[in-house]
């Protein structure tokens, strides 16, 4: 298996996409399988190989004209398209009449998994300023907290080390809908067959599983997840056994209870960590592609 990472130079230095390091674990016995990451506009493929594409951006790959057109072109270029969006996979497979899209998860190269660390502060949020970010900041104020929000001075390993030192990691799995997307998506034939795109004008967010959710599991930090209309996290982790939902109306009471009885939550943390290590690593992802391709 040969993985092409040469087209991912456009992403920020702190983006997890830069740190998969597939080349360290490629399998020469499956060199007929070529896995493509990143922006595919300038990456020529050789059709004699089994070419598959990995898209970590859906559903927002459908937001903008360039990425929308690339997504449609990719359906004719690649044997399989691996996506983190189960809604996109079901929709496009139905439209195409074939199983071309396959739902995947995010994953982590185990070289970046921190050693088990002493918990030195209460709660952390990492990621962007979308979704309930402002609400999260208010919720964290009474506690000893950290925030890493698109800070280019914090490298990826340092971010993970911080998460490993936090008792709780606040996560959400949502993306906003810009005005361009509200205009662009209705131009896609059959867009209403994707129920995410129905009544788009009345929605503020769409679901997108985030790397921070998996990073928290790898870092042995309790996943405290914002509950939304989609709860896509339940595709990957089990509620109350591997993560818990945030009680947004009583967040201070809930967080205080977690901190005072933190030992009671260790089994949840341990189960999430074991699942991540057994299922959501780079090596396991490549094995999964090999089993399908």
What's the pLDDT at 1? 73
Supply the DSSP symbol for 253: H
133 phi and psi angles, rounded to 5 deg: -55, -50
What's the pLDDT at 40? 52
Q: Does pLDDT of 168 surpass 90? A: yes
User: 61-77 pLDDT, tens per residue?
Assistant: 899 888 888 889 889 88
Burial 211-229 (b: 16+ CB within 10 A, else e): bbbbbbbbbbbbbbbbebe
Q: What is the mean pLDDT of residues 214-243?
A: 96
CATH dotted code for 112-173+208-278: 3.40.50.2000
- Distance between CA atoms of residues 163 and 42, nearest Å: 36
- Distance between CA atoms of residues 203 and 241, nearest Å: 30
Q: Does pLDDT of 140 surpass 70? A: yes
User: 93-119 pLDDT, tens per residue?
Assistant: 999 999 999 999 888 999 999 999 999
Q: Does pLDDT of 290 surpass 70? A: yes
Q: Does pLDDT of 42 surpass 70? A: no
- Distance between CA atoms of residues 143 and 16, nearest Å: 27
Total Cβ atoms within 10 A of residue 206: 26
What's the pLDDT at 9? 56
Q: Does pLDDT of 156 surpass 60? A: yes
Whether the bond between 31 and the residue before it is cis, its omega within 30 degrees of 0, is no
Tokens of 145: 């907290």
What's the pLDDT at 165? 98
Report which of 242, 241, 240 is spatially closest to residue 214, judged by C-alpha positions: 242
- Distance between CA atoms of residues 147 and 30, nearest Å: 42
Tokens of 33: 């399988």
Q: Does pLDDT of 26 surpass 80? A: no
What's the pLDDT at 133? 84
Q: What is the mean pLDDT of residues 134-162?
A: 90
Q: Does pLDDT of 145 surpass 70? A: yes
- Angle among Cα 166, 17, 88 to the nearest 5 degrees reads 100
């Amino acid at each position: 298996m040969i993985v092409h990472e040469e087209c991912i130079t456009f992403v920020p230095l702190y983006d997890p996409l830069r740190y998969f390091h597939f080349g360290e674990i490629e399998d020469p016995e499956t060199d007929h399988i070529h896995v493509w990451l990143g922006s595919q506009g300038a990456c020529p493929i050789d059709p004699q190989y089994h070419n598959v594409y990995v898209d970590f951006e859906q559903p927002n790959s459908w937001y903008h004209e360039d990425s929308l057109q690339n997504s449609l072109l990719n359906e004719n270029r690649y044997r399989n398209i691996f996506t983190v969006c189960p809604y996109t996979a079901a929709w496009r497979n139905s439209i195409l009449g074939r199983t071309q899209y396959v739902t995947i998860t995010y994953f982590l190269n185990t070289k970046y998994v921190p050693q088990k660390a002493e918990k030195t502060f209460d709660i952390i949020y990492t990621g962007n300023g979308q979704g309930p970010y402002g609400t999260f900041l208010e919720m964290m104020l009474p506690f000893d907290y950290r925030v890493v929000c698109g800070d280019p001075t914090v490298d990826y390993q340092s971010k993970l080390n911080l998460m490993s030192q936090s008792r709780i990691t606040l996560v959400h799995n949502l993306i906003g809908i810009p005005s361009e997307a509200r205009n662009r998506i209705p131009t896609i034939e059959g867009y209403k067959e994707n129920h995410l795109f129905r009544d788009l004008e009345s929605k503020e967010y769409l679901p997108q599983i985030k790397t921070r959710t998996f990073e928290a599991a790898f870092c042995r930090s309790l996943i405290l997840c914002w509950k939304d209309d989609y709860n896509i996290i339940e595709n990957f982790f089990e509620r109350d056994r591997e993560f818990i939902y945030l009680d947004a109306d009583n967040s201070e009471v809930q967080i205080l209870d977690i901190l005072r009885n933190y030992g009671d939550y260790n089994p949840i943390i341990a189960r999430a960590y074991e699942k991540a290590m057994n299922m959501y690593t780079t090596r396991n992802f490549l094995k999964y592609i090999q089993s399908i391709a």
